[in-house]
Amino acid sequence: MDFKYRENYTIPVKQKHFREILTIQFLCLKAIAKKNPWALKTHLIIDLTAGPGYYDTKEKMGSPLIILDERKRRNLYSKVVLIEKDKTNYTALIRNIEKHFPSGLNDYLVNIECGDNREIIKKYVHKICPIQYGLAYMDGFGEKDADFYLLSLLCDYYKRVDLIIHCNCGAIKRSVGVKKVNGFSKKMNLEERINLIYPRKKAYGLVRDPYTQWQWSIFIFTNWDAYPKFKKLGFFPIDSPEGQATIKKLSQKGTKNENEKS
Ligand SMILES: C[S@@+](CC[C@H](N)C(=O)[O-])C[C@H]1O[C@@H](n2cnc3c(N)ncnc32)[C@H](O)[C@@H]1O
């Protein structure tokens, strides 16, 4: 397999992939709700690292606005939780949502929360709910934001809520072996992080081809055997030879150049 990283990775590429995955996911959620009368009619969509809503100065939509936009477009009945810890970003998020939906969201199902996702999430995990469908999205900058513990906690409560993680695998790789940061005596490598979730808590996993020397990748975890494969976006099932090779490459320390270059 050729591991020359694709270099032309920009925020629009990330957002394009996210929107495509979300669109299909929403269609599937709608179909599943129709097929399974026992499932909760309100999907749960959580953006754990929402950001300011727009990126650049050109009012291009970030993940929270993409979620709200697709939800409106598909006429979906979903509960949306947007979590952002940075006060400035949170304020910008509120402002940008108001700008994007000038007549207001008018929606008691949308919660916009300011705080650390590890704390805020406690409000949303009261009891195990196997009939709740939905998805949680995590899209942090660095290694500390890739909190697979938090994601594995969500799996315990919501077996049918899928996970999408946009991940700086290069940053995780570099952090391994660095001692005692934030109370962790040892940083977990990517394989160890994935093992917290897959295959024990989510039976199926997809990994996307990494981009740039930072090895930006996307992981999707689900318990749904018929989950779309997103081959055109460069995804492989984790248990396929290509997926295994990708995970191995993303977990192992590479060349000096790869470890140091941004
Ligand atoms: C890469 S940005 C998110 C971009 C967003 N997904 C988008 O598409 O526009 C990461 C955001 O996550 C926030 N963040 C990082 N760690 C967090 C945490 N533990 N709890 C809540 N927000 C967090 C950061 O403040 C930052 O605004």
**What pLDDT was estimated at residue 182?**
56
Q: CATH number of 11-261: 2.70.180.20, 3.40.50.150, 3.50.50.60, 3.40.50.300?
A: 3.40.50.150
User: How far is it, in rounded angstroms, from Cα 105 to Cα 115?
Assistant: 21
Is any ligand 1 atom within 6 A of the Cβ of residue 150?
no
Is any ligand 1 atom within 6 A of the Cβ of residue 149?
no
Is any ligand 1 atom within 6 A of the Cβ of residue 143?
no
Tell me the per-residue pLDDT of 142-188, one tens digit each, with 9 for 90 and over. 888 899 999 999 999 999 999 999 999 999 998 886 665 555 446 88
Q: How confident is the model at residue 76 (pLDDT cuts 50, 70, 90)?
A: confident
Is any ligand 1 atom within 6 A of the Cβ of residue 209?
no
Residue with tokens 């269609």: 27
Is any ligand 1 atom within 6 A of the Cβ of residue 85?
yes
Torsion of CA 25, 31, 35, 41, to 10 degrees: 70
Amino acid, res. 102: P
User: How far is it, in rounded angstroms, from Cα 87 to Cα 82?
Assistant: 13
Structure tokens at 229: 């494969």
> By alpha-carbon position, which residue is closest to atom 9 of ligand 1?
62
pLDDT at 49 over 70: yes
Q: How confident is the model at residue 247 (pLDDT cuts 50, 70, 90)?
A: very high
Amino acid, res. 192: E
**What pLDDT was estimated at residue 106?**
72
Distance of CA 19 to the CA centre of its chain: 12
3-state secondary structure the chain: CCCCCECCCCHHHHHHHHHHHHHHHHHHHHHHHHHCCCCCCCEEEEECCCCCCEECCCCEECHHHHHHHHHHHCCCCEEEEEEECCHHHHHHHHHHHHHHCCCCCCCCCEEEEECCHHHHHHHHCCCCCCCCEEEEEEECCCCCCCCHHHHHHHHHHCCEEEEEEEEEHHHHHHHCCCCCECCECCCCCHHHHHHCCCCCCCCEEEEECCECCCCEEEEEEECCCCCCCCHHHCEEECCCHHHHHHHHHHHCCCCHHHHHCC
Amino acid, res. 185: S
Average pLDDT for 17-38: 92
What phi, psi does 112 have (nearest 5°)?
-110, 115
Neighbouring residues of 182: CB distance < 8 A, sequence distance ≥ 6: 144
Burial class (CB in 10 A: 0-12, 13-18, 19+), 87: exposed
Atom from ligand 1 closest to the CA of residue 147? 19
**What pLDDT was estimated at residue 41?**
87
Q: Which residue has the higher pLDDT, 44 or 7?
A: 44
Q: What is the mean pLDDT of the chain?
A: 89
Residue spans per domain, the chain: 11-261
**What pLDDT was estimated at residue 179?**
61
Average pLDDT for 230-236: 96
Interval between CA 50 and ligand 1 midpoint (Å): 5
